[in-house]
């Protein structure tokens, strides 16, 4: 039997049980009544003790959302979502104010432990070895904000970050504690009217992370948010806002998982990044939402709007994503290159298997002079999945000297999957230099046989070849997460591909 | 017991029979050359021994130290000591040669129930071996065969042969794509690996390679069978008279 055929057969045999994060945590939760109405929006706002301006902002978004229709241009296919059949808010009980990690429901701590996300600061320190030659152990610390369904349950290292002047807290707290910052920046990159899902998010978002790095500060540790959807029939609408003030630097990572369920669950997040003059934001995602079972039943609908604004001169925003989960992914982390000499980067690995559908890519909008952008996208399709790269690169009339380089590579495993590349390129100015390269290849029998002849099993051979294929992107991840992502890819390949 | 015994082997590719009853016996320490015109089935034989997919064995047997090789998966055959040096070694972008060597060596050791090499032990071994073959360390950092010249690719095959220490090495048209200097370097590497415990099967069109790797036994293949076997002088005879005389014998 040809090696690829064997791989394809194994893909057919995969079971839902291959998803390692599919367990459910049994805890009591406090939910909003089912369905969406002004009452739901008010309920959420009230739960969060929000000021009046915030409620007003939400209601305006809700009213606008009522007039909008779902976008249909993406290459994804799913039954119509009944927005009245969802819960828009779910919080673990007991709902009391938590002042230290010890007061968190042990069940939730256990959940994060199972997921390999230690919330204990001590564990965090012990778990990460310093690199050789690196004396300062502080550099290896990672601050974690954990979001369970609709609320943030724990944020670590808050005090230490505060010393550096960095604000890292749940956005619900930031709305109360730093209203001037939130009011100034919220919706300034992704306006409430932006698109159907972003507008919905603006109306009902419940939590997410807020980061502010003051001028000239290099954030002393990696910041990380971990999102977990636990509750049945619940949508997760998180909102993340990161501001890097002049000359500052921050690296941020998000991870996501969910229990396996037969019904589809909606995840519609909005992420906004703002980089001022000479600032840099590095945003990395390892997305592993439940992808559905081998017949395509269940899984997360991941409809996400992520956008970064290089507002200042010489600013830089870099998106890196490793997408292995979700039944449907609809996601285009983008950069608005407004400041002169600003730079946008997008590095992506998207793996689809089973019946997963991925429509993902980026937009690089060159507005300032001598702005540069780079796009490296690696799509891997297996099973009966469809994997689309969709990208827009555009240069404004005033964006003289704009430059972009794009490389989109697709790798097909088996003959029932599809890879598609849909690049849009618009240059409204003759000094722009845009380069686009695209390749599509099938994982070759000859390469697999070569590896197997040298003693690798079929699975190991596929894993090795795929990890080589995505190496350029893996290198962009912070080191700890690169290792995690590589494991995740291998796991998807062991269980889901080979 | 013979190291390799091929008995009355019949092989089909998509309905067409390529090997019609081939016999070959190779003992430890021997160097065999298999010669023959294009399409005589030389490469098919090497692929079937290594277990490449796409071939259907319709009759006969292949025994390796008395064990049925055809019952083993290709990776198990590798772990048991069967090594095929490819005519056209493939490129694996993004995978450093060092990583590849380590993954493969440890996979073989694991399959044999041996302990895996630790990183320092592996590095020590690979340095030793590459030094003895005059292979620059720089080559080990590059992607497997990516951007390698024809000569470098073949040296990489020899390096793997030295590292994995197989008992049977099949060299499929090792001379193709090599100039005379590169050929000499590769052949020197192969000769350095010859030992009383290791057998080599050298597949080639031309006598040229056999000036460097001197065989004990030469076989002539035609139309899917071995039609004549003899000493190294048979290769010289072939060079003078060509393969035409054997067309009828088959």
Intra-chain end-to-end CA distance of chain B, in Å = 29
Looking at the DSSP bridge assignments, the partners of residue A310 are: A275, A337
Write the burial class of residue A131 (CB in 10 Å: 0-12 exposed, 13-18 middle, 19+ buried). Answer: exposed
Q: Using CA atoms, how far apart are residues B41 and B36, in angstroms rounded to an integer?
A: 8
CB contact under 8 A, A2 and B90: no
Q: Using CA atoms, how far apart are residues B90 and B101, in angstroms rounded to an integer?
A: 14
CB contact under 8 A, B94 and A470: yes
Residue A1 with chain B: CB contacts under 8 Å = 53
More confident residue, A443 or A187: A187
Which residues touch A229 (CB under 8 Å, ≥6 apart)? A149, A236, A258, A259, A265, A267, A289, A300
Give mean pLDDT, residues A257-286.
Answer: 84
Domains and CATH numbers, chain B: 4-249 (3.40.50.300)
Residue given tokens 């429901």 in the structure block: A105
Are the CB atoms for B188 and B209 separated by under 8 Å? no
Q: Using CA atoms, how far apart are residues A363 and A334, in angstroms rounded to an integer?
A: 5
Q: Which pLDDT value is given to residue A495?
A: 43
Q: Using CA atoms, how far apart are residues B165 and A151, in angstroms rounded to an integer?
A: 58
Residues A436-458 as b or e (16 or more Cβ within 10 Å = b): eeeeeeebbeebbbbbbbbbbbb
**Backbone dihedral angles phi then psi of residue A93, each to the nearest 5 degrees:** -90, 160
CA A61, distance to chain mean position in Å, is 23
A437 interfacial to chain B (CB closer than 8 Å): no
Q: Which pLDDT value is given to residue A334?
A: 96
Are the CB atoms for B43 and B34 separated by under 8 Å? no
Tokens of A182: 């939130």
pLDDT per residue of chain B (250 residues) written in tens, 0 to 9: 899 999 999 999 988 999 999 999 999 999 999 999 888 999 999 999 999 999 999 999 999 999 999 999 999 999 999 999 999 999 999 999 999 999 999 999 999 999 999 889 999 999 999 988 888 888 899 999 999 988 889 999 999 999 999 999 999 998 887 888 888 888 888 898 899 999 999 999 888 889 899 999 999 999 899 999 999 888 888 888 888 777 765 5
Angstroms from A472 CA to nearest CA on chain B: 8
Least confident range from A290-299, A332-341, A390-399: namely A290-299
Tokens of B168: 């049977």
- CA-based angle B130:B134:B137, to the nearest 5? 55
CB contact under 8 A, B53 and A451: no
List of long-range contacts for B205-210, beta carbons under 8 Å, 24+ apart: B205/B35, B205/B36, B205/B37, B205/B38, B205/B173, B205/B175, B206/B175, B206/B239, B207/B35, B207/B235, B207/B236, B207/B238, B207/B239, B208/B175, B208/B183, B209/B174, B209/B175, B209/B183, B210/B33, B210/B235
Q: Using CA atoms, how far apart are residues B93 and A471, in angstroms rounded to an integer?
A: 9
Q: What ipTM score was computed for the predicted complex, to two decimals?
A: 0.95
Q: What share of chain B is helix, strand, coil (3-state, %, to 5)?
A: 40, 30, 30
Q: Using CA atoms, how far apart are residues A354 and A416, in angstroms rounded to an integer?
A: 10
Are the CB atoms for A465 and B92 separated by under 8 Å? yes
- Between the alpha carbon of residue A296 and those of residues A14, A47, A445, A464, the distances in Å are 12, 36, 28, 27
- CA-based angle A17:A18:A24, to the nearest 5? 55
Which residues touch B21 (CB under 8 Å, ≥6 apart)? B8, B9, B10, B59, B60, B224, B225
CA atoms within 13 A on the CB side of A357: 14
CB contact under 8 A, B100 and A464: yes
Residue A470 with chain B: CB contacts under 8 Å = 94
Q: Which pLDDT value is given to residue A296?
A: 74
From the list A444, A455, A460, which residue is nearest B79 (CB)?
Answer: A455
A94: preceding bond cis by omega (within 30 degrees)? yes
Q: Using CA atoms, how far apart are residues A141 and A127, in angstroms rounded to an integer?
A: 10
Give mean pLDDT, residues A393-407.
Answer: 94
> How long, in residues, is chain B?
250
Tokens of B154: 């073949």
| B69, B73, B94, B108, best to mutate vs chain A, most A CBs in 10 Å | B94
Residue A466 with chain B: CB contacts under 8 Å = none
Q: Using CA atoms, how far apart are residues B242 and B250, in angstroms rounded to an integer?
A: 15
Nearest to B249 by CA among B231, B223, B230, B229: B223
Which residue of B lies nearest to A457 if distances are taken between CA atoms? B75
Tokens of A152: 């943030």
Give mean pLDDT, residues A405-409.
Answer: 93
Nearest to A241 by CA among A172, A299, A293, A292: A172
Q: What is the DSSP string of B20-48?
A: EEEEEEE-TT-EEEEE--TTSSHHHHHHH
pLDDT at A139 over 60: no
Residue A464 with chain B: CB contacts under 8 Å = 92, 95, 99-100, 103
Q: Using CA atoms, how far apart are residues A474 and A495, in angstroms rounded to an integer?
A: 20
Are the CB atoms for A389 and A376 separated by under 8 Å? no
Are the CB atoms for A411 and A466 separated by under 8 Å? yes
For the segment A417-457, what is each residue's pLDDT rounded down to a tens digit? Answer: 888 999 999 999 999 999 999 888 888 889 999 999 999 99
Are the CB atoms for A322 and A477 separated by under 8 Å? yes
pLDDT at A136 over 60: no
**pTM of structure:** 0.79
CB contact under 8 A, A454 and B93: no
For the segment A68-123, what is each residue's pLDDT rounded down to a tens digit? Answer: 988 888 888 888 888 888 777 777 664 444 555 566 666 666 666 665 555 544 33
Residue given tokens 């001598």 in the structure block: A370
Q: Which pLDDT value is given to residue B216?
A: 94
**Plot region of B104 (φ>0 → left; ψ -120 to 50 → alpha; else → beta):** alpha
**Backbone dihedral angles phi then psi of residue A416, each to the nearest 5 degrees:** -110, 5
Tokens of A348: 């992506």
Are the CB atoms for A305 and A334 separated by under 8 Å? no
Are the CB atoms for A87 and A40 separated by under 8 Å? no
Which residues touch A336 (CB under 8 Å, ≥6 apart)? A189, A307, A308, A309, A310, A365, A367
């Amino acid at each position: 039997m040809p090696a690829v055929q064997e791989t394809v057969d194994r893909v057919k045999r995969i079971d839902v049980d291959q998803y390692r994060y599919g367990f459910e945590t049994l805890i009591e939760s406090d939910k909003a009544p089912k369905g969406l109405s002004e009452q739901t929006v008010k309920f959420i706002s009230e739960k969060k003790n929000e000021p009046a301006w915030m409620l007003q902002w939400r209601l305006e978004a809700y009213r606008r959302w009522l007039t909008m229709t779902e976008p249909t241009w993406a290459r994804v296919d799913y039954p119509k979502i009944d927005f009245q059949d969802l819960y828009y808010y779910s919080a673990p009980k007991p709902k009391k104010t938590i002042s230290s990690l010890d007061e968190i429901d042990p069940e939730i701590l256990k959940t994060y432990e199972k997921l390999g996300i230690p919330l204990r600061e001590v564990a965090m320190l012990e778990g990460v070895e310093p690199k050789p030659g690196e004396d300062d152990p502080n550099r290896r610390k990672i601050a974690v904000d954990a979001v369970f369904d609709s609320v943030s349950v724990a944020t670590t290292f808050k005090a230490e970050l505060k010393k550096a002047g960095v604000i890292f807290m749940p956005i619900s707290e930031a709305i109360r504690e730093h209203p001037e910052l939130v009011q100034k920046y919220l919706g300034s990159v992704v306006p409430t009217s932006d698109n159907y899902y972003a507008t919905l998010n603006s109306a009902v978002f419940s939590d997410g992370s807020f980061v502010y790095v003051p001028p000239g500060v290099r954030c002393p540790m990696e910041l990380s948010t971990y999102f977990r959807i636990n509750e049945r029939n619940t949508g997760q609408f998180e909102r993340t806002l990161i501001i890097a003030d002049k000359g500052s630097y921050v690296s941020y990572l998000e991870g996501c998982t969910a229990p396996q369920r037969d019904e589809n669950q909606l995840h519609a997040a909005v992420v906004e990044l703002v980089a001022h003059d000479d600032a840099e934001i590095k945003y990395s995602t390892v997305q592993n939402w439940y992808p559905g079972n081998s017949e395509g039943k269940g899984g997360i609908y991941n409809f996400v709007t992520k956008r970064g604004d290089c507002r200042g001169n010489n600013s830089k925003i870099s998106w890196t994503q490793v997408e292995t989960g979700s039944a449907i992914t609809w996601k285009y982390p983008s950069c608005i290159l407004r400041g002169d000499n600003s730079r946008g980067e997008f590095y992506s690995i998207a793996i689809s298997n089973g019946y997963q559908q991925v429509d993902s890519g980026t937009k690089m909008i060159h507005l300032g002079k001598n702005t540069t952008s780079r796009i490296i996208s690696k799509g891997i399709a297996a099973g009966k999945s469809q994997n689309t790269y969709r990208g827009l690169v555009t240069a404004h009339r005033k964006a003289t000297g704009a430059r972009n380089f794009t490389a989109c590579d697709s790798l097909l495993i088996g003959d029932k999957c599809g890879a598609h590349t849909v690049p849009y390129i618009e240059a409204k100015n003759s000094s722009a230099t845009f380069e686009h390269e695209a390749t599509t290849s099938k994982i070759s029998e000859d390469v697999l046989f070569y590896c197997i002849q040298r003693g690798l099993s079929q699975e190991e051979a596929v894993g090795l070849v795929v990890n080589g294929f995505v190496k350029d992107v893996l290198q962009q991840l912070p080191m700890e997460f690169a290792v995690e992502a590589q494991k995740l890819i291998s796991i998807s390949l062991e269980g889901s591909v080979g | 017991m013979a190291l390799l015994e091929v008995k009355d082997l019949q092989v089909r590719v998509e309905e067409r029979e390529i090997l019609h009853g081939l016999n070959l016996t190779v003992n430890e320490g021997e160097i065999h050359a298999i010669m023959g015109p294009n399409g005589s089935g030389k490469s098919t034989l090497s692929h079937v021994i290594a277990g490449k997919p796409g071939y259907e064995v319709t009759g006969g047997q292949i025994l390796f130290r008395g064990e049925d090789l055809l019952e083993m998966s290709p990776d198990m055959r590798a772990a048991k000591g069967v090594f095929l040096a490819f005519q056209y070694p493939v490129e694996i972008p993004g995978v450093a040669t060092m990583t590849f060597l380590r993954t493969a060596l440890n996979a073989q050791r694991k399959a044999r129930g041996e302990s895996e090499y630790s990183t320092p032990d592996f590095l020590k071994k690979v340095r030793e071996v590459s030094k003895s073959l005059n292979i620059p360390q720089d080559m080990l950092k590059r992607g497997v065969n990516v951007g390698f010249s024809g000569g470098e690719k073949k040296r990489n095959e020899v390096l793997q042969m030295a590292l994995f220490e197989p008992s049977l090495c099949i060299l499929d048209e090792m001379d193709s794509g090599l100039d005379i200097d590169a050929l000499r370097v590769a052949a020197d590497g192969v000769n350095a690996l010859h030992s009383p415990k290791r057998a080599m099967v050298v597949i080639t069109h031309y006598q040229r390679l056999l000036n460097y790797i001197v065989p004990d036994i030469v076989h002539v293949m035609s139309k899917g069978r071995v039609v004549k076997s003899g000493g190294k002088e048979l290769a010289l005879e072939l060079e003078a008279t060509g393969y035409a005389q054997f067309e009828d014998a088959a």
